[in-house]
Amino acid sequence: MARSARSSTTRLFYSLCSSTKRTPLTPQHPPPTPVAALLAGNFQLRHYAASSATARVREEKDAVWRESLEKVRNIGISAHIDSGKTTLTERVLFYTGRIHEIHEVRGKDGVGAKMDSMDLEREKGITIQSAATYCTWKDYQVNIIDTPGHVDFTIEVERALRVLDGAILVLCSVGGVQSQSITVDRQMRRYEVPRLAFINKLDRMGADPWKVLNQARAKLRHHSAAVQVPIGLEDDFKGLIDLVQSKAYYFHGSNGEKIVAEDIPADMEAIASEKRRELIEAVSEVDDKLAESFLNDEPISSADLEAAIRRATIARKFVPFFMGSAFKNKGVQTLLDGVLSYLPCPVEVSNYALDQTKDEEKVTLTGNPSGPLVALAFKLEEGRFARTAHFNIIFHQRIYEGVIRKGDFIINVNTGKKIKIPRLVRMHSNEMEDIQEAHAGQIVAVFGVDCASGDTFTDGSVKYTMTSMNVPEPVMSLAVSPVSKDSGGQFSKALNRFQKEDPTFRVGLDAESGETIISGMGELHLDIYVERIRREYKVEAQVGKPRVNFRETITKRADFDYLHKKQSGGQGQYGRVIGYVEPLEPGSGSKFEFENMLVGQTIPSNYVPAIEKGFREAANSGSLIGHPVENIRVVLTDGASHNVDSSELAFKLASIYAFRQCYTAAKPIILEPVMLVDIKVPTEFQGTVTGDINKRKGVIIGNDQEGDDSVITANVPLNMMFGYSTSLRSMTQGKGEFTMEYREHAPVSGDTQTQLVNAYKASKEN
């Protein structure tokens, strides 16, 4: 036994000696002793074994969290108003077992859809706020955000898409691709969100899914194809043919919960074969692997086609089109299967953060729960779920990396504040489920933490921030005031809350009249907030006439040279600024630029920030009609200062007066918001409606025919669109409908500018 141990030790020693690099025997390199070599060998073996075990454990952990995240889908449902988003979400919740009864958006029972939890939503039959929920389908966890379809609530779509991994674009089989469909699709492109399309309402009179598919290709520039073919349309809509699996599906039962799979009907085999080949061709154009099989005339299996569609969809090169009728309970389960099959899991989407310690260097987030915490707050709500004052604020957040636990301390990177998490929940519309922890890839809500939309949270080990979301500028304003002076406190509280919740809702004060001015995305947007002030805070508010948010800009370069000098005993004021203002190049991306081109120390550098501040302040109110000045560049070239009398205040005032001095010489003009208006009317009223658009100084840019209807597209100044809903109804016997969205600020006509300037001067004189 001892000999055996000694011999194995000797063998180990000799093997170590033979593998050791040979070096000359010198006083610095004495021959290794057997004991030293043996100890070194044992250490190496132990170290190797330990590192291998650690690597194995890490790999096992990685495999576990990857497997769990592969069974997660974060999706949003977006569409034009009245395309059936909320109805679709209601069916999804029913079939996944989250709710046990189906209620309609405008149902006779008065209950309303689950995701429309606000009283106003149920009364008006529209979605006002995005609502989050979660469900389980075939062992996959699906987190869903249902978003509004009305353009006035577009910020809800923006912030939902910012944090989602995939989306469903719902299109009406009759209305097709409409104005808000285009806007929503543009938002999906902005945030690089892979998507499926669902052609809804195939049971409606006039349903034509192939027309909608062609519109999507033309108007949305989708590379797309149908993955399903409807069996019948309108009242004859019975089921769907799955082109990937080559099966026909029928939906039986009182709520379509029983799915029956059968062979494709004989009379539809030809069209199914044609559409399947069309699908394979479309996917082959964007997927090399499938293209190789297709070009070689190899048989393409269902599994190969499904895998190719998934690759192309996740790469955002292809949009598969599903079909059905959510209201008639057909096609929703197959759409859910499509979400699992074709939309990405959190680890299949590239997410980036900006490292604030390395000059905002881009850092890829792996989605690893064992990594440092990185989470983005994308929506804030106050008061809606409150039971105590401590839990008065709730914010929704998407976790991109790491784990968040109840009781943890987290850091708000944007403010530097350290915050403890008192309560962690998962939302189900207006209900919630308490949880102890949440990991990367999940969407959760946190109570009792004050922050702003777009704030990034970490555990303190890294200083990362996520890129912010796009926030459109308000286009309309209203003067509001409480009827009773006693309710002023509640009125201010309501405005502060709504401003914090909604980045597109702004509150300001008219310096001349002292009125409170609220600004938003349109009439409906502001009307909803006035109504919420009345309902939620019991404050009756007086509302003034809607105002358009005009802007001013300059059209030519103008020089300024202004000396501000004041002496009234003691230290005076002295500051001289010289330079010029000029219009910015179109598409420059910024609205105001300041450039310091001083040479030498004619003005000490510590006064330059005050000069910039003065010009920015002056640009907040142009001299034409008192609205902000945009698209302007201020260049400071020279100036003068005084050793005693110069100060930041002196140079700030000099800048303000210099701006006013040169403004008229820069030929200022007024810009007004122009709306993209889509009007759908019976063809017999086309002439009347077109004439009315021309009277409103609109420019018609499109006129298409859809069956018996004319679809007129025009650019119309917002100032001319007030009360248009009533006018359109009277012109078309109540048969016309329209939608509009903000397009751009454009110069007003000369006579309009004169009227606006004269009205502004008259109001100042009064």
Which domains are assigned to the chain? 67-342 (3.40.50.300), 351-465 (2.40.30.10), 476-549 (3.30.70.870), 553-666 (3.30.230.10), 672-762 (3.30.70.240)
Residues 752, 247: Cα–Cα separation, whole Å? 63
Known binding site: residues? Answer: 79-86, 146-150, 200-203
Q: Find the helix or strand (DSSP H, E) in which 426 lies.
A: strand 423-428
Condensed to tens digits (0 to 9), the pLDDT of residues 397-419 reads 889 988 898 888 988 888 888 88
Q: Which residue has the higher pLDDT, 53 or 145?
A: 145
Q: Which residue has the higher pLDDT, 416 or 229?
A: 229
* pLDDT band, very low/low/confident/very high, at 40 (cuts 50, 70, 90): low
User: Taking residues 735-751, what's their average pLDDT?
Assistant: 85
Condensed to tens digits (0 to 9), the pLDDT of residues 511-527 reads 666 788 888 887 888 88
User: Taking residues 286-303, what's their average pLDDT?
Assistant: 88
As a whole number, the mean pLDDT across the chain is 83
Range name among 215-229, 279-293, 578-592 with the lowest pLDDT average: 578-592
Does the pLDDT at position 534 exceed 50? yes
User: Taking residues 385-396, what's their average pLDDT?
Assistant: 58
The pLDDT, as a whole number, for residue 724 is 84
At 127, the amino acid letter reads T
With beta carbons less than 8 A apart as the criterion, state whether 527 and 159 touch.
no
At 566, the amino acid letter reads K
Range name among 16-25, 291-300, 355-364, 477-486 with the lowest pLDDT average: 16-25
User: Taking residues 723-735, what's their average pLDDT?
Assistant: 83
Does the pLDDT at position 114 exceed 70? no
The pLDDT, as a whole number, for residue 392 is 62
* pLDDT band, very low/low/confident/very high, at 426 (cuts 50, 70, 90): confident
Q: How wide is the angle at C-alpha 99 spanned by C-alphas 95 and 103, nearest 5°?
A: 95
Using DSSP bridges, classify how beta strands 403-405 and 437-439 pair: parallel, antiparallel or unpaired.
antiparallel
The pLDDT, as a whole number, for residue 576 is 92
Does the pLDDT at position 19 exceed 60? no
The pLDDT, as a whole number, for residue 20 is 40
The residues, any chain, with a CB within 8 Å of residue 91's CB and separated by 6 or more, are 102, 326, 329, 332
* Alpha helices, DSSP H, located in 220-287: 269-284
The pLDDT, as a whole number, for residue 118 is 64
**Token digits for 470?**
């796009």
User: Taking residues 446-471, what's their average pLDDT?
Assistant: 82
Q: Which residue has the higher pLDDT, 297 or 281?
A: 281
The pLDDT, as a whole number, for residue 110 is 52
Q: Which residue has the higher pLDDT, 497 or 113?
A: 497
Does the pLDDT at position 384 exceed 90? no
* pLDDT band, very low/low/confident/very high, at 66 (cuts 50, 70, 90): confident
Does the pLDDT at position 369 exceed 70? yes
The pLDDT, as a whole number, for residue 182 is 85
Question: Could you tell me the maximum CA-CA distance found in the chain, to the nearest angstrom?
Answer: 114
Q: How wide is the angle at C-alpha 501 spanned by C-alphas 497 and 502, nearest 5°?
A: 115
Q: For residue 756, which phi and psi values (nearest 5 degrees)?
A: -65, -40
* Alpha helices, DSSP H, located in 671-749: 686-695, 724-731
The pLDDT, as a whole number, for residue 396 is 86
Closest to 586 measured CA to CA, from 753, 746, 749: 746
The pLDDT, as a whole number, for residue 316 is 92
In the DSSP assignment, the letter for residue 473 is P
With beta carbons less than 8 A apart as the criterion, state whether 161 and 131 touch.
no
The pLDDT, as a whole number, for residue 415 is 85
Residues 437, 244: Cα–Cα separation, whole Å? 39
The pLDDT, as a whole number, for residue 514 is 73
The pLDDT, as a whole number, for residue 500 is 82
User: Taking residues 326-338, what's their average pLDDT?
Assistant: 91
Known binding site for GTP: residues? Answer: 79-86, 146-150, 200-203
Beta bridge partners of 230: 240
The pLDDT, as a whole number, for residue 566 is 84
Tokens 């016309």 -> residue: 736
Q: Which residue has the higher pLDDT, 388 or 157?
A: 157
276: exposed, middle or buried (Cβ count in 10 Å: 0-12, 13-18, 19+): buried
Does the pLDDT at position 17 exceed 60? no
* pLDDT band, very low/low/confident/very high, at 226 (cuts 50, 70, 90): very high
149: exposed, middle or buried (Cβ count in 10 Å: 0-12, 13-18, 19+): buried
* pLDDT band, very low/low/confident/very high, at 387 (cuts 50, 70, 90): very low
User: Taking residues 688-697, what's their average pLDDT?
Assistant: 92
User: Taking residues 71-81, what's their average pLDDT?
Assistant: 87
- Is residue 524 classed as helix, strand or coil in its secondary structure? helix
The pLDDT, as a whole number, for residue 38 is 46
Condensed to tens digits (0 to 9), the pLDDT of residues 654-691 reads 999 999 999 999 999 999 999 888 888 888 899 999 99
* pLDDT band, very low/low/confident/very high, at 11 (cuts 50, 70, 90): very low
Residues 319, 338: Cα–Cα separation, whole Å? 11
Sign, CA dihedral 271-273-278-283, equals positive
Condensed to tens digits (0 to 9), the pLDDT of residues 466-510 reads 877 777 778 888 888 888 878 888 888 888 888 888 888 889 887
